[in-house]
Amino acid sequence: MPSESERRARPLIVPRFFNTLTRELQEFPVGKYNAENPAKIYTCGPTVYNYQHIGNFLAYVYWDVLVRLFAVLEVPTKRVMNITDVGHLASDADEGEDKMEKGAKSSGKTVWEVADFFADDFLEHFTKLNLLQPAKTARATDYIEDDMALVDRLTEKGYTYETSDGIYFDTTKFPRYADFARLDLAGLKAGKRVDFNREKRNVSDFALWKFVREGESHAMQWQYLGRAGYPGWHIECASIILAELGESIDIHTGGVDHIPVHHTNEIAEVESLTGKLLSKFWLHNNHAMIDGEKISKSLGNVILFSDLQARGFNYMDFKMWAYEGHYQKGRNFTWEGLEAAKKRLNNWRRAADLRHEFDYEVTAGEEIILDVITATVANNLSTGVALALVDDFISYERQEGNTWMSVKIGSPSEHFWAKIDELFGLNILESTPPLTPIQRDLLASRTAAREAKDFVVSDQLRDQLKEQGIGILDGADGQTWYHL
């Protein structure tokens, strides 16, 4: 393996992302950041009132590759993700039931128990997906004082008004309100629903803080302005960003459905006070569908990781499936599609297994292809294209008799797979360890049995190896093994 100094200088890769703020692909100025000044990233996290389905996790897989890309490019980041454990109303427009309270009612638990249970469940899957842990995972209920202080500041500056059910943000006081989502406020007004809250001055005004009304049961409540209440959803993200990352961050991520309400309102809450851009880049993912349909409980098409596991798929199969799409396009889930992704991952693992038998060295070609793969991901997270590059590099000819002795283009070394794992977090190296002494002995015995043409014993040994998770291919040049 060449030493660091012997290797050629790496090209400077400048990522570019589609920025919702400008509706353009924009270069991200990586050179500006260092350990003292990391790129600040905020990810809108889940509302923990129910199990998160596979569609929910699609976004976290895409934002993980974003953070991994920066790590590969050696750009320090500081990332914060929230967990909404209070006050997220069923409708974005401050109407309807509180999702947390609803979850508690339907499960017979307290709202705090519901939040803890589903937050833990979410984090467990997050870890099993091998997603990099944010520097801080912030629970909204830990920032209630910050929420109140932020509402105070907005009130002092004249941005709020009070109604019988809460404190509202007057969107006419923030002239740029419609800009981010390119909202048609006149159209919104004309199309307002009949049950529109009549105390609201404008249809786009939104609640910063809600009061618990008489006769209303709301287990999560705090005293503010002499009354019991709870924060609105948007102010929770705004407070966490201000507390943990400061007034202006570098990248804010979330789902496309957040653009017209949640993110528009976060921007109004912060930018009206600071006069600075809340975030320089806004990246939005599109959502997963199942067989072409929206994922929803009412359609009965919610798929959980436990459903994938019951059909023999694992977390890494799911990630490979996610990467085959593009974060802006969303992804249509089919079982056939997941099967194809699993097959692709197994091909990669088999190619990685070859390093044990052939002890491939790092080559200049390998370094170049790694840079091309990284540059492809840096091009607005084009993961699907990057996967095809890996496929090309590791494609190998099967000689007569199905052995993998001749490698067509590349002979990926351990270093190659370490870099691929760094970028995609697919646990390729971890899932393809060297053979154990027992497995080596079984393989040697099988070689001997085949030489002696004792095919009964040879088949028995094949079965024993299978039990050990090792598959065998017999060819003219002998047997090759791989992890099943």
Residue nearer to Zn ion on the CB measure, 125 or 234: 234
Q: Does 44 bind Zn ion (CB under 5 A)?
A: yes
Contact 160, 168 (CB under 8 A): yes
Residue nearer to Zn ion on the CB measure, 83 or 461: 83
Minimum Å distance from CB 91 to Zn ion? 16
User: Per-residue x/- marks for Zn ion, 168-187, CB under 5 A?
Assistant: --------------------
Residue nearer to Zn ion on the CB measure, 167 or 237: 237
Q: Does 251 bind Zn ion (CB under 5 A)?
A: no
- The site that binds Zn ion (CB under 5 A) totals a number of residues, namely 2
Minimum Å distance from CB 396 to Zn ion? 46
Contact region for Zn ion (CB under 5 A) — 27-35, 44-52, 150-158, 291-299?
44-52
CA distance 129 to 109: 28
Going from the C-alpha of 161 to that of each of 200, 201, 202, 269, 312, the distances in angstroms are 9, 9, 11, 14, 55
Minimum Å distance from CB 63 to Zn ion? 13
Residue nearer to Zn ion on the CB measure, 44 or 114: 44
Minimum Å distance from CB 270 to Zn ion? 12
Contact 196, 157 (CB under 8 A): no
Q: Which two tokens stand for residue 208?
A: 């910063």
Bridge pairing between strands 293-294 and 478-483: unpaired
Minimum Å distance from CB 88 to Zn ion? 10
CA distance 325 to 345: 15
Residue nearer to Zn ion on the CB measure, 99 or 355: 99
Contact 480, 447 (CB under 8 A): no
Going from the C-alpha of 125 to that of each of 54, 68, 84, 185, 316, the distances in angstroms are 10, 18, 17, 40, 12
Q: Does 237 bind Zn ion (CB under 5 A)?
A: yes
Short-list 17, 58, 44, CA closest to 262:
44
Short-list 71, 66, 49, 46, CA closest to 126:
46
Q: Does 394 bind Zn ion (CB under 5 A)?
A: no
Interaxial angle between packed helices 414-424 and 335-358, expressed in degrees from 0 to 180 and rounded to the nearest 10? 150
User: Per-residue x/- marks for Zn ion, 63-102, CB under 5 A?
Assistant: ----------------------------------------
Where in 426-477 does DSSP place strands (E)?
A: 470-475
Q: Which two tokens stand for residue 3?
A: 């030493």
Contact region for Zn ion (CB under 5 A) — 36-44, 157-165, 245-253, 367-375?
36-44
Residue nearer to Zn ion on the CB measure, 237 or 449: 237
DSSP secondary-structure letter at 7? S
Residue nearer to Zn ion on the CB measure, 75 or 237: 237
CA distance 356 to 411: 12
Q: Does 59 bind Zn ion (CB under 5 A)?
A: no
CA angle 318, 324, 310 (to 5 degrees): 20
Minimum Å distance from CB 44 to Zn ion? 3
Minimum Å distance from CB 237 to Zn ion? 3
Minimum Å distance from CB 46 to Zn ion? 10
Minimum Å distance from CB 118 to Zn ion? 17
Contact region for Zn ion (CB under 5 A) — 39-47, 154-162, 189-197, 373-381?
39-47
Q: What are the φ/ψ torsions at residue 251 (nearest 5 degrees)?
A: -140, 130
Residue nearer to Zn ion on the CB measure, 255 or 471: 255
Residue nearer to Zn ion on the CB measure, 21 or 308: 21
For the chain, state the CA radius of gyration. 27
Residue nearer to Zn ion on the CB measure, 114 or 138: 138
Residues that bind Zn ion (CB under 5 A): 44, 237
